[in-house]
A and B are shown apart, each in its own frame.
Chain A
Amino acid sequence: MTIKVKRRPRRKDAGQAAPQGPFRLDPFQEEAIRELTEGHNLLVAAPTGTGKTLIADMLIEKVLAGGRSIVYTSPIKALSNQKYRDFAQKFGKESVGLITGDVSVNDRAPLLVMTTEIFRNWCFANPEMLDQTTHVIFDELHFLDDLERGTAWEESIIFAPAHIRVVGLSATVPNIRELSSWIADVRNQEVKVIIEKRRAVPLDLYWISAQGETYNEPGAREYIRQRMEMRKGRWAGSHNDSAELV
C-alpha cells in the first residue's frame, strides 16, 4: 500500500486583520440609536454582517442602565441558547434570563432571551410580566414570511402591550416600508425605518464550471448556453446513429 501525500493549499500570509482604527459606529447604526433614544418603534433592514447586532447590544445596555427590562426574541431555539451565553458574557449572568419552552432560566431577569412563541404566549397570558419591559427586539424579522412560524411573529406584533416599543432587525427586504406602515397601523404608533443597502464587505458572484474554471455572470451564462447546445447536438447525433443502425 502506498501512502498518498495529500494536497495542500497555497497559503497566503493573510490571516492578520487589517488595522481597523478606533472603533466607530456606521452612520446607519448611529441613526438607529438616535431613533431608539427618542423612543420610537424602529425597523432596520440591512444585509447580514453589517452590524445589526451592535444596535441591539447598545439598546440593551441603555435599557439595563436605566433599570428597565427588555426582551430579545430569536428566530430559532438553538440560537436562543447561543444568544443567552453571549449576553451572559456581555451583561453578566445575573442580568440575563432564557425562556424557550423546554428551558427556563432566571425568568425574572431584566434581559430575557425568548423564542418568539414564548413572547407571543406572554402577550396573551401574562402581559403583566412585561410591565417593566420597554422594548422587544425581533431578530430576523423577515421570518414573518415563514409558513410554519410566521404566525408567532405576527401575533406578537399585534398583541405586544401598547407601552412596549417594537424593534425589528431584518435582512434586506424590498417592502420594509410596507411592513413598517402595517405595524404603525395595527399598533397605532409611529414606526421609523432605517435601510442600509451597502454591505460591510461587498460580494462578488462567480460560477465554477466542470473544468474548474471560474466565470462571472455573462461568462457563466454563455458557458451554460454552449453546454446546452452541445448536449442537444449530441442527442440529435445519437438519434441519427440509431436511425442508421435500423
Chain B
Amino acid sequence: MANLTGSNPSCSEVINSIQDHLPALYFTFSRGKTELLADELGREWDFLLHSEKTRVKEIIGEAEKAQPGLFGTRRAKLKQILAQGIAYHHAGLSPAIKDLVERLYEARLIYVLFCTETFAVGVNFPAASTVFESCRKWDGREFRGLMNREFFQMAGRAGRRGFDPVGMVYSRIDDRFPEQTGFYSEDDIEPVRGRLTISPNTVLSLLYWKTDEEINLYLEKNLAVYQNNRESWKIKRELGELEKRLAEIGGTFCREVDTGSCYMLRSKLKKELRSLSRKNKRERPGTGDRRDEIRKLLKIQQKRCNHRACSDARRKQFDMLERKSRIERRIRVLGSHSRDYEREFNGVWDMLEDMSYVKGRKLLPRGIFALHLHVEEILVTELVFNGFIRDMPPAQVAAVLAGVDYVPGRDDFVEPGPYDLREIDLLRKSLLRSGIPENFCVWSSLPGSLAAAWYEGASFEKLLSMTNLQEGDVFSTIRREIDLLRQIERAAGEDVELRRQMENIRRVLDRDEIAIPGI
C-alpha cells in the first residue's frame, strides 16, 4: 500500500523484517522525514494491546490537563499514532511534546520511534534495535556520509541491558542509491581533533583576566597546536630514518651505476630509442642527434653483474624518495599552521583596538561591556553603544535581540511586525563595511515580530499562526533571547537603567509555553 516516500524498502517492510526486535529507534536525518515515515507506518501498523492503549490515553490525558491544547491541530496526527505505539521525535517539537514522547518511550508504550540524531545524545534511551533510514546527512554545508563516531553514537542505543542478548542494528539499502549504503566499524572511529576558534570574547577575556604567560600557554599549547607538534615530531623522526636508509641504499650500487655499462641505464636508453624511432617523433628536430648519442653509449660493453639486485634497490629508492617528498610537504604545511593561533589572536586584537574596545592590553568601556557577552559580542555592544537599545520601546528591543545570531533557513517565513528594523540592518552593513568579519555580526530581522508579539502578550498559538517555523524553533529562539538578555544585564553593571530595561523584557518573555517545564 501507500509508500509515500516512494523508496524501497518502505519503512513498513523494514519493520516487518525486524518485528521480533522491537522497540526500534528509526533514525532519519530530517525532521520532515520522521513525520512522513511515522504517518506511513501508522496507516498499516498497530503495535499496542488494548490495555496498553488505555495507558497511553491516560498519560496523554494527564499531559493535556497540565497543558491544554498540547497537540493543537499541528500534532493531531501524532496523538493518533501514539495510540498505535508509533511516534516521532525531533528538535522542531515543543519541549512538552518531546517530554511526553520520552515518557511514553520509557514506559515501553512506543514500539517504533522515528527520530533524528539528537535523540542519541546524552540521556540513554535504549532499544532492541536501531534502524538507519540512510547513512547520509546534511551537516550545514554538504550532504555527507555519517562518520563512524556518529554512526556508533546512534547504533549503540541498540541492546537493552538485561533484556537483549545483542543489539540489532539495521541499515536500509536504498534501491535507488545502493552505492550510498554505509558500512561502519568500531575499529575505524575517527580521532578527536582540536577545533579551537578565537572569538572577540576570548581575546577580551584573555587580555583582561590572564597573564602574558597564560595567554602564551593558550596559544602555544591548545589541542590543535599540541596535535600539530606531535605529528610534526613524529614525521620528522620518520624523515630522519628515511634519509638514513636512503644513504644506505645509495651505497649498494656499484661504481659504474648509470654509466654506459650499467644494465639499468642501458634498458632505459633502449626504451627511449624505441620511442624515438616511432614515426611521429622521428621527424622532430634533435631526435636524430639523440638517437646517435644513445647508439654510441650502447656500443659500450654491458657489465656482467647481478643487475636484478640493483633494479630492486632502485625501485625501493624511488618509493622512499616519493615518501620523503610527501613528508617534506606535510612538514611545510604543519609549519605554516603552527603560528595560526598567534596570527588569529593578533588579528582579532587589532580589530578590537581599531574599534576602541581595547588600547593595548587595557580594556575600554566597550571592551568591558563585551566581556560579558558570549554571542555576537561586537554587534550587540554596538547596538547598545549606538543607542539603539536604550531609545526603543521594549517590544521593539525584543524584536531586535531575537534576531541576534539567527540564521534563517531557506524557506523560513514569519509575518513582519509593526516595528521597523531597517536601522539595525544599516548598522550591521556599516560594521561589515568597516571590515568586521561576517561571523561577528550575524543578525536577521526574521524572528523579530514573533518576539515582539510574545512580549506584547500574544498566545503561543498566535505566534505559530504567524510563521511556518515549528514549535521547537519558536521556543528555542525566544529562550536564546532570554539568555542574551541575561548577558546584557550582567554587562550593564552599574548602568541600572539598562539593566532594569533588560530584566523587564526578560521576565515578560519567560512565561507559559516558553518557560522551562519542571524547573
Among residues of B, the one whose C-beta sits closest to the C-beta of A117 is B374
Provide the residues of chain A in CB contact with B214, threshold 8 Å. 159
The reply on A1 being an interface residue by CB < 8 A is no
Known interface pairs A49-B124, A53-B124, A102-B479; A154-B222 also in contact (CB < 8 Å): yes
A203 lies within 8 A of B166 (CB): yes
Cα A164 to Cα B499 with chains together (Å): 33
Interchain CA distance A246-B221 in the complex, whole Å: 69
Against A, the Cβ 8 Å flags (1 = close, 0 = not) of B473-497 are 0000001101100110000000000
Using CB atoms, name the residue of chain A closest to B478.
A102
Flag if A201 contacts B118 (CB, 8 Å).
no
- Asked if residues A178 and B230 are in contact (CB atoms below 8 Å), the reply is yes
Interface membership of B191, Cβ < 8 A: yes
Q: Is A111 part of the contact surface with B, judged by Cβ < 8 Å?
A: no
Interface segment out of the listed B181-189, B316-324, B349-357, B417-425: B181-189
Q: Which of A194-238 contact B (CB under 8 A)?
A: 199-214, 217, 220-221, 223-224, 227-228, 231
| B17 on the A face (CB < 8 A) | yes
Contacts of A245 in B (CB 8 A): none
Contact present for A139 and B122 (CB under 8 Å): yes
Q: Given A155-B202, A201-B167, A208-B172, A186–B221 Cβ distance below 8 Å?
A: yes
Contacts of A200 in B (CB 8 A): 159, 161
A20 CB-CB contact with B under 8 Å = yes
* A203 contacts B156, C-beta separation under 8 Å: yes
A144 located at the interface, meaning its Cβ lies under 8 Å from any Cβ of chain B in the complex: yes
**Hey, which chain A residues are within 8 Å of B108, CB to CB?**
15
Determine the distance from Cα of A71 to Cα of B96 in the docked complex, in whole angstroms. Answer: 27
Nearest neighbor of A11 in chain B, beta-carbon distance? B49
In the complex, are the beta carbons of A201 and B223 less than 8 A apart? Answer: no
- Interface presence of A56 (CB below 8 A): no
- Contact across chains for A203 and B45 when beta carbons are under 8 A apart: no
B17–A102 touching, CB < 8 Å: no
- Contacting residue for A201 out of B44, B159, B196, B230, CB 8 A: B159
> How many residues on A have C-beta within 8 angstroms of the other chain's C-beta atoms?
86
Provide the residues of chain A in CB contact with B202, threshold 8 Å: 151, 155
Partner of A212, one of B14, B47, B123, B218: B14
A138 CB → nearest B CB, Å: 12
Q: Which B residues touch A49, using CB under 8 A?
A: 124, 126, 156-157, 159, 161
Q: Which A residues are in CB contact (< 8 Å) with B121?
A: 75-76, 79, 140
B167 touches A202 (CB 8 A): yes
Chain B residues with CB below 8 A from A172, complex form: 152, 186, 189
Residue of B nearest to A146 (CB): B195
Please name all residues of chain A whose beta carbon is closer than 8 Å to the beta carbon of B454 when the two chains form the complex.
Answer: none
Q: When each residue 129-157 of chain A gets 1 if its CB lies under 8 Å from chain B and 0 otherwise, what string results?
A: 00000000001111011110011001100
Q: Is A140's CB under 8 angstroms from B122's CB?
A: yes
Q: A7-B45, A203-B158 are in contact. Are A208 and B170 (CB under 8 A)?
A: yes
- Please state if B218 and A204 are interface contacts (CB–CB under 8 Å): no
Interface string of A120-134 (1 = CB under 8 A from B): 010011000000000
Q: Are B122 and A8 in contact (CB under 8 A)?
A: no
Distance in angstroms from B358 CB to nearest chain A CB is: 16
State A50–B282 Cα separation when bound (angstroms).
74
A24 contacts across to B, CB distance below 8 A: none
Known contacts A101-B483, A209-B173, A212-B16; is-contact A203 B111 (Cβ 8 Å): no
Q: Which residue of A lies closest to B139 (CB)?
A: A147
A174-B196 contact given A81-B519, A199-B159, CB 8 Å threshold: no
A130 to chain B, nearest CB (A): 14
Check A59 for interface membership: any CB of B closer than 8 A: no
Q: Is B84 interfacial (CB-CB < 8 Å)? A: yes
Can you list 14 A-B contacts (CB < 8 A)? A101-B486, A124-B210, A144-B223, A154-B194, A154-B195, A155-B202, A199-B159, A201-B161, A201-B167, A203-B169, A207-B170, A212-B17, A220-B171, A220-B181
Name B residues whose Cβ lies closer than 8 Å to a Cβ of A: 8-9, 12-20, 22, 44-47, 84, 95, 98, 108, 111, 118, 120-124, 126, 131, 149, 152-153, 155-173, 175, 178-179, 181, 183-184, 186, 189-197, 199, 202, 205, 209-210, 214, 217-218, 221-223, 226-227, 230, 371-372, 374, 479-480, 482-483, 486-487, 510, 516, 518-519
